[in-house]
A and B are shown apart, each in its own frame.
Chain A
Amino acid sequence: MNKKAPSDGEMLKGTLDMMILRTLITGDAHGHTIAKVIERTSEEVLEVEQGSLYPALHRLEDRGWVSSYWGASENNRKAKFYRLTAAGRKQLLRETTRWRRMIRAIGLVMGEEATSDGGAR
């Protein structure tokens, strides 16, 4: 395999949890759907590694941010569905706020494209 430079698809640590929570806002979903939704909404930029998705889901469940149940998937297969809990909703809010503040801060440092004076320096 050729060694890839850090691709766009590699996610910032900790953001996966947040995105999983965000995905679940629209409704309960199983692992496969969650991965698909993230990939699709990111316009296929982000690629969810299964190796981190499932441990992340279990971690979120342990912390009480999502709950799970076994149900039938769209194709009528047995699947484990995850649902956002009230605590998870709060956590998502916190994470989102933090995340917004963070990109703004990073944006300030890097000089946002929208501002006219920042780019040259």
Chain B
Amino acid sequence: MADSDDELFGAEHVRVYRETGGERGYTWRRGSKILLLTTTGRTSGEPRTTPLIHVADGDRWVIIASNGGAADHPAWFKNLRASPDATVEVKADAVPVAATIADGDERTRLWAEMNEVWPDYDAYQAQTEREIPVVVLTPR
């Protein structure tokens, strides 16, 4: 089952994660841990859910707006800039959070931690001119 769950993606990943309270879909490729982030669509106003690799930092969660190294920010990041209040689902728990963008020493520290979990972030950064945002989600 572990191997096939590595292949989960997109809406199917979200569905399986929710149905199993993260029993399936929380642990993903290379042992990374997935949370579900639900933002409010900046044009639609509709809830938009994306599975994302994260690390926990105290009671906060850290995610990276890499968009896989694409030139533009991911939609969820643009949604957070328009409306920083969001919801995080970690396993079976849903937590309302507020998003902030890490900078300075904190960004450096968190970027390094995220790269330990998913070493491709440095490669993503090398492919794009923009500085890839490190986003901190704090319970509200």
Same complex: no
Chain B positions near chain A (C-beta within 8 angstroms): none
